[in-house]
Amino acid sequence: MLKDFLFDICSSQFVSGFEHVNSHILPKYFKPYTDSFEKDKLGSYIFKASGTSETNIMLAAHIDEIGLMVTEILEGGFLSFTSVGGINPASLVAQEVTVFGKEKIFGVIGIKPPHITDAEERKKPLKLKDLYIDTGYPREDLVKMVKVGDIATIKREPLSLQGSRISAKALDDRAGVAVMLETAKELKKISHKSNVFFTATAQEETGTRGAKTSSYKINPHIGIVLEVGFGMTPDMTDLPQLGKGPIVAFGGRLNAKLTKKFVEVCKKYNYPLQYEAVPGRTGTDAEALQITREGIPCILLSIPLRYMHTSVETIDLKDVENAGKAIARFINELDNSDLEEILCF
């Protein structure tokens, strides 16, 4: 079920700024567990699970993904493109892509053969402007189907690895969205007092923009931001590991007492947890929430993920499940505590 949801949303495109295109998908999954649904003006999806108290809790995970945008239609069926969000050009080489023009168009991104790449060129890092999408169409046909500003994504189907590991594009931050769905399911089983707003934010990858407008609209008492964090690989051994629990962040941009409370709840109920220190910018929606209106106290929880911003992002589903349950438990505990006291400096 969790895996089906992730596979479904990871194989659909929600490129930053174009989150409205597949707008039927999220409501289908969230509506059974929530009471109302609306969107903010930037396109963030807001699902509300109503409680009995006046307390509003906002969960935020961004639905948008990095993508490509057509900048020029060239002779011979080639398309120049720029990126929407941060992409390492090297990760695009030899990929299949889907261009979302008037209709879906398939293409490939190639690279100069090694035989004729000289030593000097090899040393230079690739740039986006050196790459092209090859569609195979003659230009006169292509201009009828594709316009400057149309978007494209890497074409990659989600993949089950061994055990509970999966690999897909856009697990940053669909893994966070999946955590929200897990929390929604858990909360449905208990009678929670707080109003909980599950927010799939728009345009995080271009500057946490949807989080700014949606948090202004919701005006919550606290924020729980769900992201992905760097997971351990053989070349980066001192990082959190996949399958050992979500990563809770400590740092100046996050509320220390609320974070402490979350850690206590996880310890009390034996939910696995890993830790990271983020002294400055987190580069997440928490950044936006913290300074919305009068300020929103936030915690930041990340799912360990390998190969961020490539089409083979890899996570362990256990971390998503555990994070979802831990947050539901946390909300339940907050319902029975004096929130004002926790938030008081």
264 binds other proteins, rule: CB under 8 A: no
84 binds other proteins, rule: CB under 8 A: yes
42 binds other proteins, rule: CB under 8 A: yes
201 binds other proteins, rule: CB under 8 A: no
Check if 140 is active-site.
no
Task: Please say whether the beta carbons of 114 and 236 come within 8 A.
Answer: no
Number of H helices, E strands in the chain: 10, 17
Which positions ≥6 away from 299 have C-beta within 8 Å?
Answer: 222, 223, 224, 225, 248, 249, 254, 255, 258, 259, 262, 286
CB atoms within 10 A of CB 54: 9
Total binding residues toward other proteins, as defined by CB under 8 A:
27
Applying CB under 8 A, the span of 152-160, 175-183, 190-198, 199-207 interacting with other proteins comes to: 199-207
Strand 195-201 relative to strand 56-62, pairing: parallel
CA dist 241 and 246 (Å) reads 9
Q: Which is nearer to other proteins, 113 or 149 (CB)?
A: 149
23 binds other proteins, rule: CB under 8 A: no
The least distance separating other proteins from the CB of residue 176, rounded to whole angstroms, comes to: 21
The least distance separating other proteins from the CB of residue 143, rounded to whole angstroms, comes to: 12
Instruction: Select the residue interacting with other proteins from 9, 13, 14, 16 (CB under 8 A).
Output: 16
Instruction: Select the residue interacting with other proteins from 12, 80, 91, 164 (CB under 8 A).
Output: 80
Applying CB under 8 A, the span of 15-23, 49-57, 230-238, 244-252 interacting with other proteins comes to: 15-23
Q: Which is nearer to other proteins, 146 or 228 (CB)?
A: 146
Which positions ≥6 away from 158 have C-beta within 8 Å?
Answer: 6, 7, 10, 11, 166, 167, 168, 169
148 binds other proteins, rule: CB under 8 A: yes
Distance between the two ends of the chain, CA-based, in angstroms? 41
Which positions ≥6 away from 141 have C-beta within 8 Å?
Answer: none
DSSP SS3 for 43: coil
Q: Which residues are catalytic?
A: 204
Q: Write out the residues near other proteins by the rule CB under 8 A.
A: 16-18, 20, 40-42, 69, 71-72, 80, 82, 84, 129, 147-149, 203, 206-207, 209-210, 212-214, 216-217
